[in-house]
């Protein structure tokens, strides 16, 4: 049996045994191998009809009545409660709205205020997505803190009685490395600091366990593994025991205890609602709510199991199809250190990705030399993985 025939047969057997295979029909897909769901998730089939209803009936016919009759007003917390199980949180702790950047700002400044006086240093993940670093620098200036960038593995030794807050990424956006959220959160708490986690590359791809591990604050986007659509709103998690002390740096009328009282003095709403700011982006928010229907009957544990199997198989296909020395993996082999993407270092990576896309394998490129392949278990199958590895080998051959 040829190498290709062997891998194709393996893929067929794995697809036949896949308990999530039926979920693929919940998405609008074509014959392209789509491995860029870690940038923008595929379109769920139920979203266009739901958006049309929002536009034509809720906005077009009910108009202002839809704030109450269509549930627009309660959408941020209602949709937050639907995201909660996917990140291991009980209801009443997540509010949806604003961008990830805005929520990072709210969370980080709020974390410094929670930490209290005498703490004047913020630690930030040195490998973080650039925006998180920009926001952290601004938050440090505004709160009078110094900012120190450290690698996640170095956080325990960098912590001190000065540390107010630590902002970390659960999964490294470039390499796909999964950081140890439980142990790092525990270390942060041991010195009395506040843990803030960015879940953009883990929510919807693997178990997070926010409540279980005592995470204080967390943020995340919804357009990657949650498939909410381009620019869909982000979310903010505030642990229940901290909610009455969470002091958002962006108080708005939507987070006021009496939003329609139009009082000149600010009194924050109870619970996670104080994470709201201004009028919600209803069109994007309700598109996200429709997208979350694809999770009905799906466990995040099953998603994680398939994610690891997909990435294992992809690494094997790359090793078999791609000539020795043509690529090297930045993504850890160990399961406990791997998210749901594989990053390969490659010469002329930008040109290679263009050629892959022209051949129907869609990933993305990160300068200067990284090919990123994201594996969304809800709609990526093992035959897709075999094809991607084979085409990569042909392009590099």
Q: Are residues 208 and 154 in the same domain?
A: yes
Residues 152 and 267 in one domain: yes
d(CA 371, CA 6): 26
CATH number at residue 24: 3.90.1150.10
**Residue 40's pLDDT is what?**
98
* pLDDT value of residue 217: 99
pLDDT of residue 106: 98
Closest CA to 218 of 397, 95, 66, 71: 95
Question: Distance between CA atoms of 178 and 212, rounded to whole angstroms?
Answer: 18
Domain region containing 360 = 3-30+297-396
Q: What is the mean pLDDT of residues 50-74?
A: 98
pLDDT > 90 fraction of the chain, expressed in percent and rounded: 99
Same domain, 181 and 261: yes
The span from the CA of 3 to the CA of 133, in Å, is 45
Q: From the candidates 129, 225, 246, 379, give the one annotated as an active-site residue.
A: 129
pLDDT digits (tens, 9 = 90+) for 168-184: 999 999 999 999 999 99
Is residue 12 over pLDDT 80? yes
Q: Cite the DSSP H helix spans in 242-348.
A: 282-291, 300-321
Q: Which residue, 171, 168, 180, is CA-closest to 330?
A: 171
Mean pLDDT of the region 241-265: 96
Q: Is the pLDDT assigned to residue 10 strictly greater than 80?
A: yes
**Is there a domain that residue 40 lies in?**
no
Query: Annotated catalytic, 223?
Result: yes
Catalytic pick among 224, 239, 276, 306: 224
Are residues 65 and 180 both part of a single domain?
yes
Mean pLDDT of 259-287: 96
Q: For residue 39, is it within any domain?
A: no
For residues 222 and 247, membership in a common domain is answered with yes
* Known catalytic residue at 82: no
For residue 36, being part of any structural domain is answered with no
Q: In terms of domains, do 273 and 301 share one? A: no
Question: In this structure, is residue 369 part of a structural domain?
Answer: yes
79 belongs to a structural domain:
yes
125-128-130 Cα angle (round to 5): 130
Beta bridge partners of 282: none
Single out the residue in 238, 262, 295 at which a domain terminates: 295
70 and 56, same structural domain? yes
Residue 156 has pLDDT above 80, yes or no: yes
Indicate the helix (H) or strand (E) that contains 197: strand 194-198
Answer whether 261's CB lies under 8 Å from 247's CB: no
State yes or no: pLDDT of 85 exceeds 90.
yes
Catalytic residue among 119, 239, 372, 387: 372
Residue 140 lies in a domain: yes
Say yes or no to pLDDT of 371 above 90.
yes
Q: Residue 342: beta bridge partners?
A: 373
Same-domain pairing of 307 and 354:
yes
Catalytic annotation present for 266: no
pLDDT tens-place string over residues 102-123: 999 999 999 999 999 999 999 9
User: Per the domain annotation, does 37 fall within a domain?
Assistant: no
Q: State the residue for tokens 């209290």.
A: 116
> Residues 34, 105, 173, 223: which is the catalytic one?
223
pLDDT above 90 for 1 = no
Q: Specify whether 172 is located in the same domain as 313.
A: no
- Number of independent structural domains in the chain: 2
Average pLDDT over residues 332-345: 98
Residue 75 half-sphere exposure toward CB, CA atoms < 13 A: 25
What are the tokens at 102? 């805005």
Average pLDDT of 18-29? 98
Q: How many C-beta atoms surround the C-beta of residue 360 within 10 A?
A: 14
Annotation says 13 is catalytic:
no
pLDDT of residue 336: 98
pLDDT-based confidence at residue 5 (cuts at 50, 70, 90) = very high
Is residue 129 part of the annotated active site? The answer reads: yes
* Average pLDDT value for the chain: 97
CATH number of the domain at 278, please.
3.40.640.10
Q: How far, rounded to the nearest angstrom, does the alpha carbon of residue 139 sit from its chain's CA centroid?
A: 22
Residue where a domain terminates, one of 247, 280, 295: 295
- CA-based max dimension of the chain: 77
Q: Which of 18, 98, 172, 198 is catalytic?
A: 198
Task: Identify the three-state secondary structure at position 269.
Answer: coil
The verdict on 361 and 279 lying in the same domain is no
Question: Residue 205 corresponds to which tokens in the numbers above?
Answer: 């791809």
Residues 6+ apart with CB under 8 A from 43: 27, 28, 227, 229
Residue 187 has pLDDT above 80, yes or no: yes
Instruction: Return the DSSP state at 292.
Output: G
For residue 368, say if its preceding peptide bond is cis, omega within 30 degrees of 0.
yes
Are 284 and 388 within one domain? Answer: no
CA-to-CA distance for 134 and 129, rounded, in angstroms? Answer: 9
263 with 318, same domain: the answer is no
Helix (H) or strand (E) holding 64: none
For residues 93 and 45, give the distance between their C-alpha atoms in angstroms, rounded to a whole number. Answer: 29
Instruction: Point out the domain boundary residue: 242, 261, 295.
Output: 295
């Amino acid at each position: 049996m040829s190498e290709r025939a062997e891998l194709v047969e393996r893929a067929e057997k794995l697809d036949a045994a896949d308990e999530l295979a039926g979920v693929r029909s919940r998405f609008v897909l074509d014959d392209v191998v789509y491995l860029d769901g870690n940038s923008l998730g595929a379109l769920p089939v139920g979203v266009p009809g739901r958006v049309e209803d929002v536009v034509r009936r809720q906005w077009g016919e009910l108009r202002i009545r839809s704030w109450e009759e269509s549930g627009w007003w309660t959408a941020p917390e209602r949709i937050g409660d639907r995201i909660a199980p996917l990140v291991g949180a009980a209801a009443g702790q997540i509010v949806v709205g604003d961008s990830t950047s805005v929520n990072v700002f709210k969370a980080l400044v709020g974390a410094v205020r929670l930490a209290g006086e005498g703490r004047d240093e913020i630690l930030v993940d040195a490998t973080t997505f650039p925006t998180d670093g920009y926001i952290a620098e601004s938050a440090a200036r505004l709160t009078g803190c110094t900012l120190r960038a450290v690698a996640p593995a170095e956080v325990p030794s960098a912590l001190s009685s000065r540390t107010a807050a630590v902002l970390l990424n659960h999964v490294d956006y470039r390499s796909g490395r999964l950081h140890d959220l439980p142990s790092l959160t525990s270390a942060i708490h041991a010195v009395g600091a506040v843990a803030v986690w960015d879940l953009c590359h883990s929510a919807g791809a693997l178990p997070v366990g926010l409540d279980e591990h005592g995470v204080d604050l967390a943020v995340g986007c919804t357009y990657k593994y949650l498939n909410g659509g381009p620019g869909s709103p982000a979310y903010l998690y505030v642990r229940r025991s901290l909610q009455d002390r969470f002091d958002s740096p962006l108080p708005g009328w939507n987070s006021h205890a009496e939003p329609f009282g139009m009082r000149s003095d600010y009194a924050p709403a109870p619970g996670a609602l104080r994470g709201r700011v201004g009028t919600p982006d209803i069109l994007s928010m309700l598109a996200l709510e429709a997208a979350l229907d694809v999770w009905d009957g799906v466990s995040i544990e099953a998603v994680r199991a398939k994610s690891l199997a997909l990435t294992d198989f992809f690494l094997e296909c790359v090793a078999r199809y791609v000539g020795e020395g043509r690529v090297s993996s930045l993504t850890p082999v160990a399961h406990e250190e791997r998210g749901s993407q594989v990053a390969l270092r490659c010469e002329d990576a930008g040109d290679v990705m263009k050629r892959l896309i022209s051949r129907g394998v869609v990933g993305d490129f990160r300068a200067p030399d990284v090919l990123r392949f994201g594996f969304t278990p809800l709609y990526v199958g093992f035959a897709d993985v075999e094809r991607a590895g084979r085409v990569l080998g042909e392009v590099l051959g």
